[in-house]
A and B are shown apart, each in its own frame.
Chain A
Amino acid sequence: MPPPAFSDSAFNSSANRIKAIPVSGSTSQADNARLGLRLFFVYSLFYLGFVIVCAFFPSWSGWELVPGLNLAIVWGFALIGLAFLLALVYGVACKAERVGLEESKEQAPR
């Protein structure tokens, strides 16, 4: 049972290199994997920003965006919200590909 053979540059967080993933197996698998990595990249940046602000600019986290809601809280809630939003985008987008490529659906090796 062969695993999908991704290129060695695939787990590189640079967006333009992600485009270069050649994936064996069905096209919808390749598209899904590429979309997944892009969304992962977007989220990672947002998360990294949060962690860096907490660690190196802790005084910023107390900055009140609206009364009672400081940057740390808003960013924290946003990270939770964004995870869900991106998951939905991924779910919907993957489904759209599958409708167009119904015949390739069952090619996934079991």
Chain B
Amino acid sequence: MINAPSLLPVLVFLAFVGLTLGISFYLGGKSKSASGYFAAHGQIPWFVNGVAFAGDYLSAASFLGICGMIAFHGYDGFLYSIGYLAGWVVALFVIAEPMKRMGKFTFADALNAKFNSPGIQLAAGISTLAVSIFYLIPQMVGAGVLVQPLLGFDHWVGVVMVGTVVILIVVTAGMVSTTWVQFLKGSLLVLFSALLTVMILQRGFDATEGGRDGHQFTTLELPGSLSVEEELAAAGYNVLPVEESWRAKKYYRVTRSDSTAALLLKDVGPPTETKRTLVECQSWKEVPQGLLVNEKLQGSAIAGQPPADLHPVGHIRSLPDGEQATGPLGPIAFLRVFSQSEIVLWGNEKLTNQDGSATTLYFPKITRGAEVLQPGAKFSGIRQSEFWPKMNFLSLMFALFCGTASLPHILIRYYTVKDAAAARKSTIVGIATIGFFYVLTLYLGLGAMTSGAMDVTNENMAAPLLARSMNEWLFAMISAIAFTTVLGTVSGLILASAGAVAHDILKGFVGLELTDHEQVRIAKLASVGVGMIAIVLGILFAKMNVNYLVGWAFSVAASANLPALVMLLFWKKTTKQGIIAAVVVGMVSSLGWILLSSDTFEQVYDVSRPEWLATLIPFSQPGIVTIPLAFATLIVVSLNTQPSRE
């Protein structure tokens, strides 16, 4: 969709981001030593650290991705909320306190506390780097998404902006300022999401035939006894020719006898045996001059009409008892009315034309609300009887459960408080804040789904567009907060990676004798490098749901880090060779699995996957295979490398 910037939100946005940076630079001036740079001297109050946990954790993925996924697929997005929060239980009950007692600056320190082995330091450093970069991708993609509707820039501009600002933050600041920035934006994010939820409940639902631009989507119910062409003609439509590939998918181009504008319809099958339903679709195609949307050049205008664009989507087609509008609803009534309504969701398919070009077609799916509130829309396999799709789902939920406690940028936050008790208390505050936010995500997502403001081409934009459908101020604030969310999370991640390079790899493994000062300087140089990589990857992965990408980062983290961490804490026979093997096997197997999965082939490489790979890797989420594999590796290697008894 065309995103025209308006002055007020831009000003609010710039003021907010400027303030955040100001705080960051001011506090950054205060931390000069290595322990200040990496761990804020261990002096952050536990409550602040707890909310900062929420700030770190509620990344662009939580806010943009989960909202977007719920807005386009219903309950399945909420599964991520549940899984992300459950992961905190592992972090609090199993990992938090021992971690705090063992480490100093980085996750590798903790793993290496017992053995003091350069090998462990290297393996853990590399895994920190791999996980952080994987986790950085969705954050950068999210940044681009935010800048698009607000400032009207292209996606890549947003990615470069965030990359540059974050490199600036990390180079000038450190853990003290990142913590305070995270605290600030963690609280604001939850506060404004709560406000948005209240507004959604106040607004209630309206039954309409289209989105906020006033366009009414055509739905035709035909008798179903003759051919589609004959019935369309009988209903007063002229049927125009379409591409063969479109025809095969039951698309029809028609004009009404009283108009010249072509309409794209899709036969979505018979709701009953004697009827068929045709719904109005939208199309999207890249051409040399720009984008062709609904067969017009995007932005081109005929006198007296708004510039051609895709119509915003997301509406309720009918409310229970034939109501037109509900007025304000309570949180339970909201879900009840929703479950009894008919919702219009949108699916899409990319079809190849005769000239070799491709067109993406978006078609409405009229769905019962009750069905939207059940799992199985995105993970459609769980409603079928096949085995592998179910495994894919189990694997994801397992990885989310194990992933939180193995994310390096979350783990380093345990070193910013003074002792184990403070680590525990800040985790509890973190769980409360994050849990409350995740309850809100369901309302935000469903609110977005029915707001009539969704961009059918981009799931990630759901939350900011929802806010814009409320009012411009709120939109500016939410975008600014989400943007600083990205800034904060990205700085945390880059800091973790920089720590890995300077502290774990160069000092711990290579054995460079570095003064505190030099270590900080190398970390800053590493930050610039990692930041550049993140910018490039953020541009490459622009089209994927950011939440889905985060799911993968969790899988890699859980496979590479958790087995080593847990076994070190709970199994006396763990050896350093066992730890190194587990980290390497977990990391390589999970990364390899993801890069060769069908999802990556379809959505990133955009080529068809060889048949033999489908047999080898039958589902996309690696966790359920690679986490146990890393555990097994650790046990086998440790048992074979037991030190001889003295």
Contact = CB atoms under 8 A, between A and B. Distances in A.
Interface of A: 1-8, 10-11, 29, 32-33, 36-37, 39-40, 43-44, 47, 50-51, 54-56, 58, 61-62, 64, 66-70, 72-73, 76-77, 79-81, 83-84, 86-88, 90-91, 94, 98, 105, 108-110
Contacts of A108: 101, 419-420
Interface string B329-346: 000110111111000000
Interface stretch (B474-482, B527-535, B567-575): B567-575
B428 interface: yes
Contacts of A37: 93-94
Given A3-B113, A72-B375, A76-B82, A56 B428 contact: no
A54 B395 CA distance: 13
B566 interface: yes
Given A3-B101, A68-B332, A81-B435, A62 B89 contact: no
Contact of B82 (A1, A79, A91): A79
A58 B101 contact: no
Interface string B91-105: 011100110011000
Nearest to B433: A84
A33 B570 CA distance: 11
Main secondary structure of the interface of A (DSSP, over half): helix
B374 A72 contact: yes
Contacts of B376: 58
B93 A70 contact: no
B570 A68 contact: no
B88 interface: yes
Contact of A72 (B75, B340, B432): B75
Contacts of A72: 75, 373-375
A88 B428 contact: yes
Contact of A43 (B89, B438, B570): B89
Contacts of A110: 101
A67 to B, nearest CB: 5
B431 interface: yes
Contact of B374 (A39, A61, A109): A61
Interface of B: 75, 78-79, 81-82, 85-86, 88-90, 92-94, 97-98, 101-102, 113-114, 332-333, 335-340, 370-371, 373-376, 382-383, 390, 393-394, 397-398, 401, 419-421, 424-425, 427-428, 431-432, 435, 438-439, 442, 566-573
Given A10-B571, A55-B390, A70-B373, 18 more contacts: A3-B98, A3-B102, A6-B571, A29-B420, A36-B93, A36-B94, A47-B86, A54-B375, A55-B382, A68-B338, A70-B339, A80-B438, A83-B85, A83-B88, A84-B432, A88-B428, A90-B428, A105-B421
Contact of A11 (B86, B428, B435, B571): B571
B374 A55 contact: no
B431 A84 contact: yes
Contacts of B382: 54-55, 58
B435 A83 contact: yes
A56 B397 CA distance: 14
Contact of B428 (A6, A67, A87): A87
Contacts of A79: 82, 85-86
Nearest to A32: B97
Contacts of B371: 62
A7 B419 CA distance: 24
A31 B368 CA distance: 50
Given A4-B569, A70-B339, A51 B397 contact: yes
A76 B419 contact: no
Contacts, number: 164
A62 to B, nearest CB: 5
Contact of B370 (A44, A70, A86): A70
A42 B569 CA distance: 20
B569 A80 contact: no
B113 A62 contact: no
B92 A36 contact: yes
Contacts of A29: 97, 420
A1 to B, nearest CB: 6
B421 A94 contact: yes
Contacts of A2: 114
A87 B431 contact: yes
A1 B102 contact: yes
A43 B114 CA distance: 30
A110 B97 CA distance: 12
Given A84-B431, A98-B421, A108-B420, A68 B114 contact: no
Contacts of A47: 86, 89, 397, 401
B562 to A, nearest CB: 11
B431 A68 contact: no
A1 B113 contact: yes
Given A1-B113, A10-B570, A108-B419, A33 B339 contact: no
A66 to B, nearest CB: 8
Given A61-B374, A76-B78, A80-B82, A11 B566 contact: yes
B81 to A, nearest CB: 8
12 contacts: A6-B569, A6-B571, A51-B397, A62-B370, A72-B374, A83-B86, A84-B432, A87-B427, A91-B424, A91-B428, A109-B101, A110-B101
A106 to B, nearest CB: 9
B568 A3 contact: yes
A68 B75 CA distance: 14
Contacts of B114: 2-3
A86 B420 contact: no
A50 B82 contact: yes
A55 B93 CA distance: 26
Contact of A80 (B98, B419, B435): B435
Contact of B424 (A61, A70, A73, A94): A94
Contacts of B335: 68-69, 73
A110 B570 CA distance: 19
B92 A58 contact: no
Contacts of A90: 92-93, 424, 428
B400 to A, nearest CB: 10
A54 to B, nearest CB: 5
A3 B100 CA distance: 10
